[in-house]
Amino acid sequence: MSCRSKVQSPQSRLQTLWIWMLLGFSLVPSYGETAEALFARGSEAYQAGDYMGAARAFRAAVQLHPAAGTFQNLGNAEWQLGHTGQAVLAWERSLWLDPFHRAAYSNLRFARKTAQLESPELTWYEVVSSWLPVNWWAWTAGLSFWLAVAMVILPGIYRWRKLAWHQALAAVGLAIFLLSVPAHLGVDTRSRVGFVLQKNTPLRLTPTDSAQLITRLPAGEPARLERIRGSYLLIHTSHTTGWIERSQFELTSAMVPPASKTKSQVLTGKL
């Protein structure tokens, strides 16, 4: 018996290659989407009442490029879905990036009043650190320090006559630098503040599934991360300290938001 092998012509191989390329692009259409395109898609979905689609698009956008406005809109979509914890977290992240964002601030006040939630307890230096975006403090410290140094050293190097405004600028630069030092500390300690994501989240005495239950926390409850052990986090709320599962708590400083894990429930309240 004789067996003949079928050999593809160059044109057939080229057509097959084009088919596979087109199939591959059709399977991954979102890989080339930019944060701006995802934001626009999320805005359209939100206006159409598709809050789940809007939250999905905004979440993908902040994964590509964290921005205060995107987090603000993500919080709006999560709130409409009934995800109080995710909404509070998104608005807090918006203020973390831009403390001048009035819409996020107003939404947080409304949400906490509606859900009867507390605001995070901050020390005085943490309050100071919230006056400016977190990335600004490094620039503020560097510029103010070198301004003070320049006003002290340059007149002697260039043999300028020391004037009153030299001393005034040196004093201002030194004062701003000293103010930025506790602000840096505040940014570091404030980065350990996070929020409970799900309602009725169990807070346990020890980091085990069978541990004694201390209390149940509402979605959006603020707390500080103290320690990590396996899949559990030791957190400190304004009332008590206990262990919580990692999936039920997220830090504000972590800029990639978690996916919604609760059932969709549209709220009638408007922000």
- What domains lie within the chain, and their CATH numbers? 30-119+192-251 (1.25.40.10), 126-190 (no CATH)
Q: What is the pLDDT of residues 42-69, one digit of tens each?
A: 999 999 999 999 999 999 999 999 999 9
What is the chain's Cα-based Rg? 26
pLDDT in tens, 119-172: 999 999 999 999 988 888 888 888 888 888 888 888 888 878 878 887 888 899
Nearest CA among 173, 225, 176, 233 for reference residue 203: 233
| DSSP code per residue over 187-242 | HHHHTTEEEE-STTEEEESSSSTTSPEEEEEPTT-EEEEEEEETTEEEEE-SS-EE
Dump pLDDT digits (tens) for 98-117: 999 999 999 999 999 999 99
pLDDT bracket for residue 25 (50, 70, 90)? very low
**Dihedrals φ, ψ of 269, to 5°?**
-70, 145
Pairing of strands 213-217, 201-204: antiparallel
pTM: 0.78
Please give the mean pLDDT across all residues of the chain.
Answer: 84
3-state class (DSSP) for residue 244: strand
pLDDT at 3: 44
How far is 77 from 129, CA to CA, in rounded Å? 28
Closest CA to 241 of 206, 191, 189: 206
